[in-house]
A and B are shown apart, each in its own frame.
Chain A
Amino acid sequence: MQFSFTDEQHEFRAVLRRFFEETSPPSVVRRLMATETGWDADQWRALNTKLGLCGVHAPEEYGGQGFGFVELGIVLEEMGRALVCAPYFASTVLATTAILNAATAAQKGALLPPLVAGERIATLAFAEPNGRWDASGVEATATPSGGKLRIDGVKSFVLDGATADLVVALARRPGTSGEAGLSFVTLPGDAPGLTRTPLKALDPTRKIARLEFQSVEAELLGEEGAAAATFAKTMAQAAAMLASEMVGGAERLRESALDYANLRMQFGRPIASFQSMKHKQADMLVDVELAKSAAYYAAAAAADDAPDLMAVASLAKAAASEAYLQTAIHTIQIHGGIGFTWDNDTHLWFKRAKSSEVFLGDPTWHRERMMQAWAA
Chain B
Amino acid sequence: MSEPTEETVRAEVRAWLEANWSPDLGLVEWREKLIDAGWGAPAWPKAWGGRDLPPALASVVDQEIRRIGAVNVARAGIRTLASATLLAHGTDYQKQKFLRRSLTGEDAWCQLFSEPGSGSDLAGAMTRAELKGNRWIINGQKVWTTSAHHADWGLLLARTDWDKPKHQGLTFFVLDMHQPGVEVRPLRQMNGHASFNQVFFTDAEIPPEHLVGEVGGGWAVATTTLMHERRGADGTGAVGAGAASSDRQGRIYDEERAEVATVMEPYKWYPQRAGRVDLVIQRAKETGKIDDPVVRQEIAKLLTLARSAEWTARRARAAMAQGRPPGPEGSLGKLAASHVARAAARVHTLISGADAMLSGEDGPQNGVIAEILISVPAVSIAGGTDEIQRNIISERVLRMPREPSTDTDRPFRDVPRNFAT
Contacts and interface: CB of A to CB of B under 8 A. Distances in A.
Contacts, number: 125
Given A2-B311, A293-B329, A368-B297, A282 B304 contact: no
Contacts of B185: none
B297 A294 contact: no
Contacts of B389: 282
B403 A258 contact: no
Interface stretch (A44-52, A194-202, A284-292, A337-345): A284-292
A282 to B, nearest CB: 4
The secondary structure that dominates the B interface is helix
A79 B285 CA distance: 42
B404 A289 contact: no
A312 to B, nearest CB: 8
Interface stretch (B7-15, B221-229, B312-320, B357-365): B312-320
B391 interface: yes
Interface residues of A, number: 39
Report the 8 A-B pairs with minimum CB-CB distance, sorted nearest first.
Answer: A367-B300, A278-B394, A293-B311, A282-B390, A4-B318, A290-B308, A3-B318, A282-B393
B395 interface: yes
Given A367-B297, A370-B300, A286 B335 contact: yes
B332 interface: yes
Interface string B318-331: 11001010001100
B309 interface: yes
Given A278-B391, A283-B390, A294-B311, A258 B300 contact: no
27 contacts: A3-B317, A4-B319, A4-B322, A4-B324, A262-B401, A272-B400, A272-B401, A273-B400, A273-B402, A278-B400, A279-B394, A282-B389, A282-B394, A285-B398, A286-B339, A289-B312, A289-B332, A290-B305, A290-B311, A290-B336, A293-B312, A367-B297, A368-B296, A368-B300, A375-B285, A375-B290, A375-B296
Interface of B: 281, 284-285, 290, 293, 296-297, 299-301, 303-305, 307-309, 311-312, 314-315, 317-319, 322, 324, 328-329, 332, 335-336, 339, 387, 389-391, 393-395, 397-398, 400-404
Which of B312, B314, B328, B336 counts the most chain A CB atoms within 10 A?
Answer: B312
A294 to B, nearest CB: 5
Contact of A286 (B284, B293, B336): B336
The secondary structure that dominates the A interface is helix
A281 B401 CA distance: 12
Contacts of A277: 400
A259 to B, nearest CB: 11
Nearest to B393: A282
Contacts of B339: 286
Nearest to B395: A278
Contacts of B335: 282, 286
A278 B394 CA distance: 5
A69 interface: no
A81 to B, nearest CB: 16
A3 B311 contact: yes
A183 to B, nearest CB: 32
